[in-house]
């Protein structure tokens, strides 16, 4: 449904600012009916990619087709089947819920019985039925997001693009929004591509794409990505992270990695981690501040493929959700 072929985008430089490559030779395909999350650190190129897919920017090189239509040669055809939820609110806060929906329907030529039917269907999953006359500025963040998604759904998109739609939502509102999105995606058979910094949001999707510095580093199902680093991993903190890592490599022959203030022993299987933990403590206990065995999550996959610590806000939101 979405095919990205050898896409490159270079922001031109000036006398003071050198040219910058935001996307470099990226190729990616999203099958019809899939729910895909696109993630990556700040500056990875995902925002530039999102702008290109929405038709807000033209790439330097490469091709994009959506439902068989060339995005750049046939943009009107693509717009007919695409819906977009931007990170920044795209509703008029000074108007009521009903007025926002009516304006969007009018832009797409919806009126009369067809408009009323589309609106009723789009609102059926929301908590907005009793708030249609309420000004959007008086709604909570979660309800305002529901207005945006309901507005987009009135046009029955085959492809839905969302740019970090849960930004600013509290954990309950975020979970409710995502649950509704998954139900709608499955019920309508929509193809969904969503950018996100929150790795907990990716556990239930079909595939996850991880970008860094404009390149695609990994793209697979959450289960397959986690399997890249084994079923268990040993994570420890030490007084001298680099020093202990060097000794673990030289004296015990362990393939450890330093990520921030952590030493990680990845790619271990069930039952292997505990004996390793005991051996490490036997030899290096005075140097170890903490040590643990954990099952890898998508945040660990992110660290593994990017060799960069997970953004603090991504973990903070996940901790709120889980109550940890």
Q: What residue ranges define each of the domains in the chain, with the CATH number in brackets?
A: 2-221 (3.40.50.300), 226-322 (3.30.70)
Distance CA 192, CA 109 (A): 24
List the chain pLDDT tens, one digit each, 324 residues.
999 999 999 999 888 889 999 999 999 999 999 999 999 888 889 999 999 999 999 999 999 999 999 999 999 999 999 999 998 888 999 999 999 999 999 999 999 999 999 999 999 888 898 999 999 999 988 899 899 999 999 999 999 999 999 888 888 888 888 988 999 999 999 999 999 888 878 888 999 999 999 999 999 999 999 888 777 888 889 999 999 999 999 999 888 888 888 888 876 666 677 888 888 999 999 999 998 888 888 888 887 787 654 444 443 333 333 333
Distance CA 269, CA 77 (A): 49
Angle at which helix 273-284 crosses helix 241-252, to 10 degrees, equals 110
- Other C-beta atoms closer than 10 Å to the C-beta of 312 total 8
Alpha-carbon radius of gyration of the chain: 23
């Amino acid at each position: 449904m979405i095919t990205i072929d050898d896409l490159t985008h270079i922001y031109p430089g000036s006398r003071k600012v050198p040219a910058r490559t935001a996307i470099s030779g990226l190729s990616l395909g999203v099958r019809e009916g899939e729910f895909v999350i696109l993630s990556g650190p700040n500056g990875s190129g995902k925002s530039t990619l999102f702008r290109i897919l929405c038709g807000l920017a033209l790439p330097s090189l490469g091709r994009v087709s959506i439902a068989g239509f060339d995005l750049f040669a046939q943009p009107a055809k693509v717009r007919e089947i695409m819906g977009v939820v931007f990170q920044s609110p795209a509703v008029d806060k000074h108007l009521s819920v009903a007025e926002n929906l009516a304006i969007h329907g009018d832009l797409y030529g919806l009126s009369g019985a067809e408009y009323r039917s589309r609106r009723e269907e789009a609102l059926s999953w929301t908590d907005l039925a009793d708030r249609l006359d309420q000004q959007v500025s008086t709604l909570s963040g979660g309800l305002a997001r529901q207005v945006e998604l309901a507005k987009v759904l009135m046009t029955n998109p085959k492809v839905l693009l969302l740019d970090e739609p849960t930004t600013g939502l509290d954990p309950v509102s975020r979970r409710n929004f995502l649950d509704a999105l998954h139900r709608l995606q499955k019920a309508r058979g929509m193809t969904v591509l969503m950018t996100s910094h929150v790795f907990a949001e990716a556990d239930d999707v079909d595939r996850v794409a991880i970008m860094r510095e404009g390149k695609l580093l990994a793209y697979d199902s959450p289960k397959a990505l986690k399997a890249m680093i084994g079923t268990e991993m040993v994570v420890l903190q030490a007084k001298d992270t680099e020093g202990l890592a060097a000794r673990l490599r030289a004296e015990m022959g362990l393939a450890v990695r330093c990520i921030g203030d952590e030493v990680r022993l990845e790619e271990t299987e069930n039952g292997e981690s505990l004996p390793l933990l005991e051996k490490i403590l036997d030899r290096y206990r005075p140097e170890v501040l903490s040590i643990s065995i954990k099952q890898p999550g998508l945040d660990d996959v992110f660290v593994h493929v990017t060799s960069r610590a997970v953004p603090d806000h991504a973990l903070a939101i996940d901790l709120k959700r889980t109550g940890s």
